Homo-oligomer: A and B are copies of this chain.
Amino acid sequence: MKKKDQSAEEGILQAARKAFTQKGLSGARMQDIADEAGINKALVHYYFDSKEKLFTLIFEQEFAKLFANLAAVITADIPLFEKIGQIVALDIERLNEFPDMPLFVINEVSRNPSRIVKRLKQMHAINVLESFQMQINSEIKKGTIKKISAEQLLINIQSLCIFPFVAKPMLKKVLQMNEKNFQVMIQGRKKELAMFIINAIRI
């Protein structure tokens, strides 16, 4: 149900985010969004034209969250081990705030990969990767860490952070955790994950 004092437009956005992240593009229903927002279905079209356009709006917001501040931390001029700690902290923090965002984004990119092409050009992923690779190479040369590519290290970090949230309902069932147990488990990771990664590459 709606909070009646907020504008219809904002209410629709909230309802749409909920519907799309929970059920995906094809699973979500315009009628459900209208009901959740407490307004008529025609009003959804009045404000946002089509389902596709409304979806794209929500998707772009969520996609932006996925990489928010990440490039800045990766390219920051701080020691590697400290940087790994900061990336993990940033990831877990963001994921705690938006737990079902990554599965949503991953899903919709899988269904329509070209959707993110425009956004990617603004991200300069390759530059970020190159800068990170240089820092890593420098540490390898110093003999402080083992040989590894920036690509693999970043994939490892993101895998370790993101996957438990993507697979949350399955992990909960398989490991027979309730919501509280899951939160405890995540808190445990928050502390241990950075050290796990640093130990993995440290000589």
Contact = CB atoms under 8 A, between A and B. Distances in A.
A7 interface: no
Copies of this chain present in the complex amount to 2
Contacts of A155: 163-164, 171, 185, 189
26 contacts: A24-B24, A24-B26, A24-B27, A26-B26, A27-B111, A103-B106, A105-B170, A106-B166, A109-B170, A110-B168, A113-B169, A113-B172, A116-B170, A117-B173, A120-B176, A129-B175, A151-B185, A152-B185, A155-B163, A155-B189, A156-B160, A159-B163, A162-B167, A196-B200, A199-B201, A200-B200
Given A25-B27, A120-B174, A151-B185, 5 more contacts: A152-B185, A152-B192, A160-B160, A163-B163, A163-B166
